[in-house]
């Protein structure tokens, strides 16, 4: 168990094999009897919603559900409004709660709903994807998209509890498992040391599953330590955006054909190649990251990089500070730095890296 302690909030991230079969009693440890809405998507719902409802009901919770389509398009104001309307119709008050059962999309959507309903009600994350387990369920970032602008509407809203059962990973497709591993490699490159050595031993997809508890705990521990030092991303937390500035742009341009972790993998390698040219990042660092990603089949390049639409998307990036992007570079493994770069300089910065 990892405890996240912030100035106005303290919560646990529980990581345990089989915890998915004890959801009711685990939630009851932090919440009193109340109404809860379990938000999930169609895919996760088919697998785990029935069991989750039964577990919560056995613990005396009054349960309703909301199921959204699979995919990034569910992170929208449309579904925020529909879920909030369902809660209002069922008489939810500030004393009730929202439970996210799913991956990153469901967690972001549910957190946004919880932060907005009656100006904020209790929220719990049950992470079922590797991306959610190692990244999006921890730290309190909640957001939805607007049109083709990613994560533009949201807030920092911390959960009361995060539940992680690595057994959930067994039901993921290979692609869904592997894309989450992109975020693991990111954390390991930022931390360095034994963690980066561990990802260097992951040579095939099966290695992700066999090392899942350790990979998850190390990733969560790293992120939690960063978040505890900088909850609202005013300084240190910016390093967690390594690979994300370029990754988010191509993720949106791919229009569903690239998953988040795949786009971040491309973003990490691309940004490192760019900083090789400026003498910030050694070629050995880029190569080490690229090898870890490609060993499990993650993409590391895209012909979307360098297009006019690509640069246009960078303007809407949350890290755009009056025309300057705060890019994350690695001076070495375990040594991230922030490099402010003007938007007008980005075409030259990425020149020569576009895949023809």
- The annotated binding site for NAD(+) is made up of 104-108, 128-129, 141, 150
Between CA 226 and CA 140 the distance in angstroms is 12
List phi, psi (to 5°) of 93.
-120, 180
In the annotated binding site for Zn(2+), the residues are: 183, 244, 260
The Cα 343–Cα 43 span in angstroms is 39
Whole-number Cα distances in Å, 271 to 252, 283, 339: 17, 12, 11
Q: Shortest CA distance to 248 belongs to which of 308, 315, 198, 202? A: 315
- Between vectors from CA 251 to CA 349 and to CA 174, what angle results, nearest 5°? 125
Beta strand spans in 160-248 (E): 161-164
Give every CB contact of residue 129 below 8 A, 6+ residues apart in sequence: 102, 103, 104, 168, 169, 172, 176, 180
Whether 148 and 138 have beta carbons less than 8 Å apart is answered as no
Q: Which residues are annotated as a binding site?
A: 104-108, 128-129, 141, 150, 183, 244, 260
């Amino acid at each position: 168990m990892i405890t996240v302690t912030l100035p106005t909030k303290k919560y646990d991230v529980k990581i345990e094999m089989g915890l998915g079969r004890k959801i009711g009693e685990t939630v009851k440890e932090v919440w009193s009897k109340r109404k809860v809405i379990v938000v999930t998507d169609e895919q996760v719902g088919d697998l785990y919603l029935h069991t989750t409802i039964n577990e919560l009901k056995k613990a005396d919770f009054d349960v309703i559900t909301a199921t959204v389509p699979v995919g990034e398009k569910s992170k929208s104001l449309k579904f925020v409004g529909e879920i909030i309307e369902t809660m209002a119709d069922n008489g939810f008050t500030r004393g009730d709660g929202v439970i996210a059962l799913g991956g990153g999309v469901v967690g972001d959507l549910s957190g946004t709903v919880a932060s907005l309903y009656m100006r904020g009600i209790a929220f719990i994350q049950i992470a079922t994807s590797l991306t959610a387990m190692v990244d999006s369920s921890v730290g309190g970032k909640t957001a939805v998209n607007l049109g083709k602008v990613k994560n533009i509407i949201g807030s920092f809203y911390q959960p009361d509890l995060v539940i992680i059962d690595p057994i959930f990973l067994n039901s993921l497709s290979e692609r869904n498992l592997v894309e989450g591993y992109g975020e693991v490699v990111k954390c390991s490159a930022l931390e360095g040391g034994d963690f980066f050595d561990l990802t260097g031993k992951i040579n095939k997809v099966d290695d992700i599953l066999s090392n899942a508890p350790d990979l998850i705990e190390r990733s969560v521990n790293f992120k939690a330590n960063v978040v505890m030092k900088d909850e609202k991303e005013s300084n240190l937390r910016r390093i967690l955006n390594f690979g994300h500035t370029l990754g988010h742009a191509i993720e949106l341009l791919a229009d569903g054909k690239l998953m988040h972790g795949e786009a971040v993998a491309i973003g990490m390698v691309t940004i490192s190649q760019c900083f090789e040219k400026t003498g910030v990042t050694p070629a050995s660092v880029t190569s080490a990251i690229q090898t870890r990603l490609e060993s499990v089949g993650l993409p590391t390049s895209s012909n979307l990089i360098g297009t006019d639409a690509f640069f246009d998307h960078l303007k809407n990036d949350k890290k755009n500070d009056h025309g300057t992007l705060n890019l994350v570079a690695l001076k070495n493994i375990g040594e991230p730095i922030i490099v402010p770069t003007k938007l007008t300089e980005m075409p030259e910065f990425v020149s020569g890296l576009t895949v023809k």
